[in-house]
């Protein structure tokens, strides 16, 4: 698994993918300010952070698919499975190793940018939150990213072509957004959409600074979904990559 | 002409063999459902005109994201799957490849977008009372088709300039966001840059016809109606010229 993380990081940093990723996130951050101006809202700490959170979860789900879509399907495209077999690396380790790499790297960069904007906006516009609500917000973000990245890894493990993975991610994104409009059930379907309990609790934390009673459920639900998706991803990757061996 | 036909045949076979066409139809169907559900969620007093306006806006603003997987991968996949040999064998030049892809994908997706708009307008006849004039409907249909050519041409240009898949898709997303930022900073200029944003002149015209909301701030007059139609075509042509002149697709063919 260590080897997978090492190879993936080599590809990520050698291809300067991380620079493109940071640029996209910075553009997303600036877009959040532009949205407030376009919609004629006032620049307050709460308004800005709500839009940034919305963009850094909902749109992040779309953007991250570009960077993760090649994770597993690339192994099929490049026909690298025989190399893994020669190195005695299991498919499970390939999937989990890639997940760990993307989860740590993409989340850390994204959460760092989110937090920098969080503290700067708190300084400029006032109303900065205390430590405990801020930590709760970070925890929610981490759990949402856990779900998003495992969903993308799962999609990547289902298709032979990385281009199709992005198309599929978009379709899944729309379907999840549509299903979120269902009453009650919509709260628990996808953690990155505006009607989710995660968004609701972020709103409460931002406005009242209070940690919701069901905080454990809010954090654990995306992680449970994510784990289930990862198990499914391992199964799908086995089917996909085993066809690839000589 | 013969080479162009061969290339268009090659592209259609690629779409069918890789089953990409099925996924693209999935994109169109889910977008259709989204545009049906979207206005219902926010406004209970919606009418036929408003729903059509919503459908047009969803197609224009979101279609690009749905097509990233295919169009940003367009030139990268040739390198990846070594299609160069086939091109060399059939004496196909880079200009032929770029031109054929502009023609094929613009026709394909404009038709699909137009069909999606017509299909949704037929579905809504059973749900709402028709309250739109024929000419307004026709105008919106043409606007959807022409705006689609803008999106498709922009993506093919990006794919030709930045051959790497992750880079070209990242660049498209960056452009999408940058247009949004420019619209926020300089709304008058931003409105005429691209139909991809809710502050564009296209969005303003759709809002004027259908009554749905738009962030376009300038006044809508007859010139706005004309500009909304002409600008995407002019931009698409510029994108085509840039792709022919500056494409990075040189290795392995000439």
| Chain CA centroid to CA A107, Å | 7
Q: Residue B195's pLDDT is what? A: 82
Residue range B203-250, pLDDT digits in tens: 888 888 887 766 666 677 788 888 889 999 999 999 999 988 887 766
B41 C-beta neighbours (distance < 10 Å), count: 11
**Chain B contacts of A48, Cβ < 8 Å?**
none
Question: What is the Cα–Cα distance from B182 to B230, expressed in whole angstroms?
Answer: 21
Nearest CB to B166: which of A66, A168, A169? A66
- Cβ-contact B159, B245 below 8 angstroms: no
pLDDT score for B248: 75
Q: B251: Cβ–Cβ under 8 A, 6 or more apart, which residues?
A: B79, B84
A198-202 own/partner pairs: CB under 8 Å, 24+ apart: A198/A57, A198/A140, A198/A143, A198/A144, A198/A222, A199/A53, A199/A54, A199/A57, A201/A136, A201/A140, A202/A50, A202/A53, A202/A137, A202/A140
pLDDT at B42 over 70: no
Interface size between A and B, measured as CB pairs under 8 A: 116
Q: Which of B40-49, B108-117, B160-169 has the lowest mean pLDDT?
A: B40-49
Determine how many CB atoms are found less than 10 A away from the CB of residue A124: 11
Q: Is the pLDDT of residue B253 over 50?
A: no
Main-chain dihedrals φ then ψ at residue B43, nearest 5 degrees: -140, 125
State ipTM. 0.83
Assess whether pLDDT exceeds 60 at residue A117. Answer: yes
- Answer yes or no: are the C-beta atoms of B212 and B125 closer than 8 Å: no
The pTM (predicted TM-score) of the whole model is 0.87
Burial class (CB in 10 A: 0-12, 13-18, 19+), A82: exposed
Taking CB atoms and an 8 Å limit, are A62 and B65 in contact across chains?
yes
Which of helix, strand or coil describes residue B169? helix
Query: Considering only CB atoms, which chain A residues are within 8 Å of B26?
Result: 167-168, 171
What are the φ and ψ backbone dihedral angles of A130, each rounded to 5 degrees? -80, 180
Q: Could you tell me how many helices (H) and strands (E) chain A has, helices first?
A: 12, 0
Give the DSSP letter of residue A180. T
Structure tokens given for B90: 């059939």
**DSSP 8-state assignment for residue B233:** H
Q: What are the tokens at B52?
A: 């059509």
Phi, psi angles (nearest 5°) of residue B136: -65, -40
Q: What is the separation, in whole angstroms, between the first and last Cα of chain B?
A: 20
Q: Minimal Cα–Cα distance from B248 to chain A, Å?
A: 17
Nearest CA in chain A to B27: A171
pLDDT at A151 over 90: yes
- Interior CA angle at A6 toward A236 and A57, to 5°? 60
- Among A24, A161, A165, the residue with its CB nearest the CB of B174 is A24
What is the mean pLDDT of the segment spanning A59-77? 84
Please give the backbone phi and psi of residue A39, each rounded to the nearest 5 degrees, phi first.
-85, 10
Show the tokens assigned to B132: 């739109």
Query: Burial, A18: exposed, middle or buried (Cβ in 10 Å; 0-12, 13-18, 19+)?
Result: middle
Q: Do residues B149 and B230 make contact, with C-beta atoms less than 8 angstroms apart?
A: no
Where are the alpha helices (H) located in A70-130, listed in sequence order?
A: 70-78, 81-86, 91-125
The conformation of residue B129, written as its DSSP 8-state character, comes to -
Report the distance separating Cα B13 and Cα B147, nearest Å.
26
According to the model, what pLDDT value does residue B143 have?
92
Rg (CA), chain B: 19
Which residue in this structure is represented by tokens 């705006």? B147
């Amino acid at each position: 698994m260590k080897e997978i993380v090492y190879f993936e990081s080599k590809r990520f940093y050698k291809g300067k993918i991380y620079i493109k990723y940071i640029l996209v996130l910075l553009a997303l951050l600036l877009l959040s300010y532009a949205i407030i101006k376009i919609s004629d809202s006032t620049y307050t700490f709460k308004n800005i952070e709500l839009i940034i959170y919305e963009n850094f979860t909902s749109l992040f789900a779309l953007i991250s698919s570009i960077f993760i879509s090649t994770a597993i399907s690339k192994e099929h495209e490049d026909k690298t499975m025989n190399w893994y077999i020669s190195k005695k690396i299991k498919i499970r380790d390939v999937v989990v190793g890639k997940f760990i790499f993307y989860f740590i790297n993409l989340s850390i960069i994204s959460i760092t940018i989110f937090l920098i904007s969080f503290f700067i906006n708190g300084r400029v516009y006032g109303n900065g939150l205390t430590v405990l609500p801020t930590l709760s917000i970070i925890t929610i973000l981490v759990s949402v990213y856990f779900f998003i990245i495992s969903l993308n890894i799962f999609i990547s493990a289902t298709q032979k072509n990385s281009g199709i993975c992005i198309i599929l991610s978009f379709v899944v994104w729309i379907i999840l957004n549509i299903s979120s409009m269902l009453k009650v059930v919509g709260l628990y379907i996808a953690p990155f959409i505006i009607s989710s309990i995660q968004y609701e609790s972020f709103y409460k934390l931002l406005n009242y600074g209070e940690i919701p009673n069901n905080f454990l459920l809010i954090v654990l639900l995306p992680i449970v979904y994510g784990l289930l998706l990862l198990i499914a991803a391992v199964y799908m990757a086995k089917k996909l990559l085993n066809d690839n061996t000589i | 002409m013969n080479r162009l036909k061969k290339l268009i045949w090659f592209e259609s076979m690629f779409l069918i063999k890789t089953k990409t066409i099925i996924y693209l139809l999935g994109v169109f169907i889910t977008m259709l459902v989204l545009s049906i559900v979207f206005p219902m969620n926010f406004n209970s007093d919606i009418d036929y005109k408003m729903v059509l306006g919503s459908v047009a806006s969803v197609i224009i603003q979101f279609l690009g994201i749905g097509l990233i997987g295919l169009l940003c991968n367009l030139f990268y996949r040739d390198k990846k799957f070594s299609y160069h040999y086939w091109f060399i064998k059939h004496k196909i030049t880079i200009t032929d490849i770029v031109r054929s892809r502009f023609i094929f994908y613009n026709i394909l997706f404009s038709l699909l977008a137009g069909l999606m708009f017509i299909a949704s307008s037929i579905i809504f006849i059973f749900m709402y009372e028709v309250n739109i004039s024929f000419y307004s409907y026709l105008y919106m249909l043409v606007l959807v088709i022409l705006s689609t050519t803008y999106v498709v041409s922009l993506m093919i240009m990006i794919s030709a300039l930045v051959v790497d898949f992750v880079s070209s898709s990242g660049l498209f997303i960056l452009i999408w966001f940058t247009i949004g930022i420019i619209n926020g900073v300089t709304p008058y200029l931003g409105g005429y840059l691209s139909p991809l944003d809710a502050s564009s002149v296209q969005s303003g015209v759709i809002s004027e016809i259908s009554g749905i909301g738009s962030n376009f701030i300038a006044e809508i007059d007859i010139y706005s109606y004309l500009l909304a139609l002409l600008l995407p075509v002019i931009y698409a042509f510029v994108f085509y010229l840039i792709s022919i002149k500056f494409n990075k697709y040189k290795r392995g063919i000439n």
